[in-house]
């Protein structure tokens, strides 16, 4: 293998695939990145056996070939080089990859590419396209609600339902639930439900910001064991989480006794202030809703207190429909959802201090967030 490429392109490609390289592993070659020539371009690939990322960059190919070298070592070296042409030359006998850029040279011992785990082919299942920006927004408003605890594996993923021209993403960790509906650019022929690892979607969102492509291709295999995401120069293949996601529609309240509409940024700021005091008080943030009277506007009062530190109270003008109400939430959960919503106003719907609260963006009907309340002494 002998080729020339730009340092800028190689550095970007290595940063794209590097997140898929395994850290601690019983299979040492998964610490490596695959470097190979492919139809006049340079292909980079890395895998941790659960997720594989491939990337193609422009290069001048003189001799075809392939090898694998330690991903971290190569990435750190290439990132330290000047923005100039890089020459890659593989010594067929020693398996060493020689790298030259300006007045810098290095030799990295490689491992034969035939020992690198093959990237799975995802074929014969459903195929669709989706707008990249819409997908990134959906992921940002859902993925944080997935569980980090491995005791219930299905909750560490995001439930994805492909039906007709709609994709519904849902995540839950037992304390909160986020559901987002968005349109597909191509309708699916068969309704399909899979659970995508939250880490995969987080990584995909990062990659989508690095590849200027409007549409994201999605393929799910017939066995529902693998999913492929394809951008212009990037492919990500991931294993799917096996199991049945909970019937989350059953926990979404269908009615409310009090509804508050409030400025989203003000709600976020007041909650952020309250969590400073809530840190030493079990994370509890208390919300009180008052509809006001004929001459007084409704208000939302946000407070937190700690026996050791002290307390704080913040008041916001709000449109309050229904009766007076109070409820307490984990402040972190409130911050998580308010921090990702793009709407100028949000609504909070409650029934009682012991029933789930529902947060929605005002002006959009494609997102719903349910938070379980905390039981406190008022």
Q: Please tell me the CATH code under which domain 2-115 is placed.
A: 3.10.150.10
Question: Kind and range of the H or E element at 218?
Answer: strand 215-220
Which tokens is 105 given?
Answer: 């040279």
> What is the rounded CA–CA span in Å between residue 135 and residue 328?
32
For the chain, what is the largest distance between any 2 Cα atoms, rounded to a whole number of angstroms? 88
Beta bridge partners of 215: 131
φ, ψ dihedrals at 32, nearest 5°: -95, 160
Per-residue pLDDT of the chain (378 residues; tens, 9 = 90+): 999 999 999 999 999 999 899 777 778 899 999 999 998 999 999 999 999 999 999 999 999 999 999 999 999 999 999 999 999 999 988 889 999 999 999 999 999 999 999 998 898 889 999 999 999 999 999 999 999 988 899 999 999 999 999 999 999 999 999 999 999 999 999 999 999 999 999 999 999 887 767 899 999 999 999 999 999 999 999 999 999 999 999 999 999 999 999 999 999 999 999 999 998 878 999 999 999 877 788 999 999 998 888 899 999 999 999 999 999 999 999 999 999 999 999 999 999 999 999 999 999 999 999 999 999 887
> What is the rounded CA–CA span in Å between residue 271 and residue 300?
11
What is the architecture of the domain spanning 253-371?
Roll (3.10)
β-strands 298-306, 234-239: how paired?
unpaired
pTM: 0.92
Beta bridge partners of 163: 166
Residue 178: predicted pLDDT: 98
| Identical topology for domains 126-249 and 253-371 | yes
> What is the rounded CA–CA span in Å between residue 70 and residue 331?
42
CA-derived radius of gyration, the chain: 25
- Under 8 Å between Cβ of 127 and 184: no
Topology annotation, domain 126-249: DNA Polymerase III; Chain A, domain 2 (3.10.150)
- Under 8 Å between Cβ of 266 and 272: no
Residue 157: predicted pLDDT: 97
Half-sphere exposure of 363 (CA within 13 A, CB side): 9
Query: For residue 300, what are the CA distances in angstroms to 55, 126, 130, 262?
Result: 50, 47, 38, 8
Query: For residue 4, what are the CA distances in angstroms to 76, 96, 144, 211?
Result: 19, 17, 41, 22
Which of 240, 239, 332 is CA-nearest to residue 48?
239
Residue spans of the domains in the chain: they are 2-115, 126-249, 253-371
Residue 344: predicted pLDDT: 95
Angle ∠(300,305,308) on CA atoms, nearest 5:
170
Residue 223: predicted pLDDT: 92
Kindly list the strands in the beta sheet with 85-90, ordered across the sheet, starting from the edge strand earlier in the chain: 60-63, 2-6, 85-90, 96-101, 104-109
């Amino acid at each position: 293998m002998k080729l020339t490429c730009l340092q800028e392109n190689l550095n970007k490609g290595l940063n794209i695939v590097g997140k898929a390289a395994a850290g601690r592993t019983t299979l040492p070659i998964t610490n490596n990145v695959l470097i190979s020539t492919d139809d006049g371009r340079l292909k980079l690939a890395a895998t941790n056996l659960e997720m594989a990322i491939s990337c193609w960059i422009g290069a001048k190919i003189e001799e075809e070939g392939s090898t694998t070298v330690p991903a971290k070592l190569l990435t750190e070296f290439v990132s330290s080089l000047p923005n100039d042409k890089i020459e890659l030359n593989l010594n067929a006998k020693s398996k060493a990859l020689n790298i030259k850029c300006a007045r810098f040279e290095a030799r990295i011992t490689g491992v034969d590419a035939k020992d690198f785990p093959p990237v799975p082919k995802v074929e014969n299942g459903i195929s669709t396209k989706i707008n990249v920006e819409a997908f990134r927004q959906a992921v940002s408003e859902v993925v944080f609600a997935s569980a980090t605890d491995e005791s219930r594996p299905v909750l560490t993923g995001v439930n994805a339902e492909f039906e007709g021209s709609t994709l519904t993403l849902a995540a839950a960790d037992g304390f909160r639930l986020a559901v987002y509906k968005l349109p597909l650019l191509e309708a699916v022929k068969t309704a399909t439900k899979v659970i995508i690892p939250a880490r995969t979607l987080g990584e995909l969102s990062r990659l989508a910001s690095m590849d200027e492509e409007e549409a994201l291709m999605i393929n799910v295999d017939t066995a529902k064991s693998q999913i492929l995401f394809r951008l212009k120069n990037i492919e990500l293949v991931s294993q799917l989480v096996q199991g049945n996601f909970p019937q989350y529609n059953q926990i979404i309240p269908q009615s409310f006794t009090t509804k508050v509409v409030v400025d989203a940024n003000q709600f976020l700021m007041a909650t952020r202030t309250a969590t400073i005091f809530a840190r030493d008080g079990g994370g509890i943030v208390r919300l009180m809703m008052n509809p006001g009277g004929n001459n007084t506007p409704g208000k939302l009062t946000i407070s937190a207190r700690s026996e050791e530190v002290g307390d704080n109270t913040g008041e916001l003008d709000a449109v309050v429909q229904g009766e007076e109400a109070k409820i307490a939430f984990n402040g972190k959960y409130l911050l998580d959802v308010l921090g990702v919503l793009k709407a100028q106003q949000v609504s909070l719907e409650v029934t009682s201090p012991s029933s789930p609260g529902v947060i929605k963006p005002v002006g959009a009907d494609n997102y719903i967030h349910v938070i379980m309340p905390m039981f406190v002494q008022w």
